[in-house]
């Protein structure tokens, strides 16, 4: 495997390794965890940001990046460098964003188009009932 190519197996191994590493340091996304500000389990979801692309059921998301770029497979045009990368309202914390575009080749030679939008958030937010919380979230 050359540095410019990545097999499907290599992609999944890397994703699994990253997921295991993240689970060792952060609570599992989507699972109720201890609220560090109140020391009790969190069961109230955060409020989504208003606007952006509405992805059912309740995900609102913007596509940050150079507005001169249109993604080749979904034909989504990036919305600029000053749009909100987080998907949560009233959020203050760490945001990480990665977008990948390319192709993957299966063992049978079939070529698949690939576009990803992966984000991770960790910090303080206000939940849907108005309470201040701390949490870790992922958008894949």
pLDDT digits (tens, 9 = 90+) for 49-96: 776 666 666 567 788 889 999 989 888 898 888 888 887 778 888 888
Rounded to an integer, what distance in angstroms lies between the CA atom of residue 108 and that of residue 96?
A: 34
User: In terms of Cα–Cα distance, which of 93, 95, 135 is closest to 119?
Assistant: 95
**Residues shown for the chain:** 140
pLDDT tens, residue by residue, 3-50: 456 566 665 566 655 554 444 444 444 444 555 555 555 577 777 777
Distance (Å, rounded) from C-alpha 36 to C-alpha 52? 30
What's the whole-model pTM score? 0.56
């Amino acid at each position: 495997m050359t540095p410019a190519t990545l097999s499907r197996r290599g992609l999944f191994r890397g994703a699994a390794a990253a997921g295991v590493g993240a689970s060792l340091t952060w609570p599992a996304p989507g699972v109720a965890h201890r609220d560090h500000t109140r020391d009790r389990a969190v069961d109230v979801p955060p409020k989504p940001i208003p606007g952006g692309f509405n992805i059912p059921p309740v995900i609102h998301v913007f596509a940050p990046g150079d507005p001169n770029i249109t993604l080749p497979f979904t034909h989504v045009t990036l919305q600029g460098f000053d749009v909100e990368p987080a998907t949560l309202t009233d959020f203050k914390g760490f945001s990480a964003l990665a977008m990948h575009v390319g192709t993957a080749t299966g063992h049978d030679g079939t070529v698949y188009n690939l576009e990803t939008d992966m984000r991770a958030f960790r910090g303080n937010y206000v939940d849907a009932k108005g309470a201040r919380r701390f949490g870790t979230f992922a958008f894949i």
